[in-house]
Structure 1
Amino acid sequence: MAPRVRLVLVHGSQLSRAMWARYPALLGPDVDLVLPDLPAHGARRGEPFTWDGALEVVGEAVGTDDGVPVVLAGHSLGGYVAMAWAARNPTRLHGLGLLGASAVPAGPGAALYRGLARVEHRLGPDRMARALDRQFDALLPPAFAALLKEAGYGFDGIPDAWAGVMGQCRPEMLAGVTAPVLLVNGQLDQLRVDVRRFRRAARSAPWVHVVTVPRGLHVFPLTHPAETVAALWELVSWARRPA
């Protein structure tokens, strides 16, 4: 039996833990998968989003140091939250994965986030939900798209969530992280623009690997789960190495 590894996957903004529904079957039984919902998302949709609250959720998912190696990975908003948690706990993890979270959220990069927030605010939650429904119907298998719709979308926390990302997150936060760092992005993902800067920033990591998912959009963890798991498996395998 392979040594157990705890893999914590943090969803992106608007979505919930439901985005990882296809991952347990791909990862297999020897990975303890932990899938938290961030504040204002999923089962926590009634809670306000705060940056400290998001970090607390991730800390609860990582758990106490019980001897089981922990790999933490997140997509988009979840990637930035994961990076911030790792920066506060630089020696706790055995692997850190940033999925679609390799753009510096400052200067020109911040304009993208502010623009998206303005569009979503102008459209309102009902029209935004219908737009996401159509997107997922076009990109995903019907049963999985239906699961995401049923789980619902979290729009209320977007302004505070992305304000936290823009105010708190910089690639230099990776400087003290002693775990391997994996930077995974879709080939067509706009949030991969600063991946080299993130790679250079992780100077305490034993290794930093950059993976590009061919033809992947920003939502590549939804559309390309097998390729995403293959990338994450590199961290899981490292975590299983003898101390």
Structure 2
Amino acid sequence: MDAIDAGSRPRPALVLVHGTRMNAAQWEPYRALLPDVQLVTVDLPGHGDRVGEEFTAESALSTIDRAVGRARAVAGGVPPVLCGHSLGGYLSMTWADQHPGELGGLVLLGATADPRSRLAGVYRGFARVLPVVGPDRMARAVNAVMRVLGARGEHARLLPDGAAYAALPAAWELVMSGGGPQLLTSVDVPVTLVNGQLDQMRLHVGRYAAACRQVRVVTVPRASHLLPATHPEQVAEVLRAAWERASSG
């Protein structure tokens, strides 16, 4: 991580929280796409270097808490921009709701389906089917879909195996029980809601936008829920815009 130039005005860091089954490696290609932005990435419990660790609400939110603390430290105390994809998005809005005044901005990627809707049944059903299909077989199928949808180069190489699926039931149960647009009513910084045009998780984006005090809604054409891997340039452009807004605030 680059040191801050002592003669320049400190600018915020960007905290990136991955989605289900992914890990901090999901964001490595973004270092080249955002070379002048300090990135802080994490592995959630049960993912990446923490595979095998139990996923709980406390451990997941503590992970974000520590990442935000690191981001403030490397940016001279400037509040960071927090971005989460899918599961990471729901966790990020939960953390933001609990920590008003501690962020410079919030970006949610593929995290605007209300988990209190009928969609909850789909994800609970997926969790029940997973042990039958097997995590490795499921991972191969999902990775193949991601490649068909556009994951190329380093994004394709970094696709994980099935080990992190063990954390899925607990992770999504947490989202189903506590997630939703009501979490954004207390968020006092600009919020960017980003979805792929073909993403089922943008179903209730209007509800989430209505709950925000300051909001920008972005729909990436022809992208799916997997847009951080399949449309990295467009996602990086949105992240830069949120970061620049926080930098000028």
TM-score relative to the length of structure 1: 0.92
- Deviates further, 230-239 or 187-196: 230-239
For 1:69-218, list aligned pairs within 5 A. 69-138=79-148, 139-149=150-160, 153-203=163-213, 207-218=214-225
Structure 2 residue identity aligned to 1:9? L
> Could you say what secondary structure the match of 1:85 adopts?
helix
Alignment match of 1:35 (pick from 41, 44, 57): 41
For residues 39 and 115 of structure 1, what CA distance do their matches in structure 2 show?
22
Change (3 A) 1:134 1:70: same
Q: Deviations over 1:53-75 (max 9, x none)?
A: 10000000000655223000100
Structure 2: gaps spanning 5 or more residues:
1-7
TM superposition shift of 1:143: 4.0
What is the aligned partner in structure 1 of residue 28 from structure 2? 21
What is the aligned partner in structure 2 of residue 8 from structure 1? 15
Structure 1 residue identity aligned to 2:64? V
For residues 164 and 27 of structure 2, what CA distance do their matches in structure 1 show?
16
TM superposition shift of 1:132: 2.5
Q: Deviations over 1:165-213 (max 9, x none)?
A: 001112111111111000000000000011010011113xxx2000000
Change (3 A) 1:126 1:93: same
TM-score relative to the length of structure 2: 0.90
Kindly indicate whether the alpha-carbon contact (under 8 Å) linking 1:15 and 1:152 is maintained by their aligned counterparts in 2: no
- Deviates further, 8-17 or 115-124: 115-124
Structure 1: gaps spanning 5 or more residues:
none
For residues 136 and 216 of structure 1, what CA distance do their matches in structure 2 show?
11
Q: Deviations over 1:10-63 (max 9, x none)?
A: 00001111111210111122x110010000000111211001110000000000
- Deviates further, 183-192 or 57-66: 57-66
The alignment status of 1:51 with 2:64, answered yes or no, reads: no
CA RMSD of aligned residues (A): 1.7
For residues 118 and 217 of structure 1, what CA distance do their matches in structure 2 show?
24
Kindly indicate whether the alpha-carbon contact (under 8 Å) linking 2:197 and 2:223 is maintained by their aligned counterparts in 1: yes
For residues 142 and 91 of structure 1, what CA distance do their matches in structure 2 show?
38
For residues 107 and 206 of structure 2, what CA distance do their matches in structure 1 show?
15
Number of residue pairs matched by the alignment: 237
Kindly indicate whether the alpha-carbon contact (under 8 Å) linking 1:202 and 1:208 is maintained by their aligned counterparts in 2: yes
Change (3 A) 1:208 1:46: same
- Deviates further, 38-47 or 107-116: 107-116
For residues 227 and 172 of structure 2, what CA distance do their matches in structure 1 show?
20
For residues 32 and 133 of structure 1, what CA distance do their matches in structure 2 show?
29
Structure 2 residue identity aligned to 1:141? R
Kindly indicate whether the alpha-carbon contact (under 8 Å) linking 1:8 and 1:35 is maintained by their aligned counterparts in 2: yes
Kindly indicate whether the alpha-carbon contact (under 8 Å) linking 1:16 and 1:153 is maintained by their aligned counterparts in 2: no
Change (3 A) 1:63 1:152: farther
Kindly indicate whether the alpha-carbon contact (under 8 Å) linking 2:29 and 2:154 is maintained by their aligned counterparts in 1: no
Runs of 4+ aligned structure 1 residues displaced above 6 Å come to none
Kindly indicate whether the alpha-carbon contact (under 8 Å) linking 1:182 and 1:211 is maintained by their aligned counterparts in 2: yes
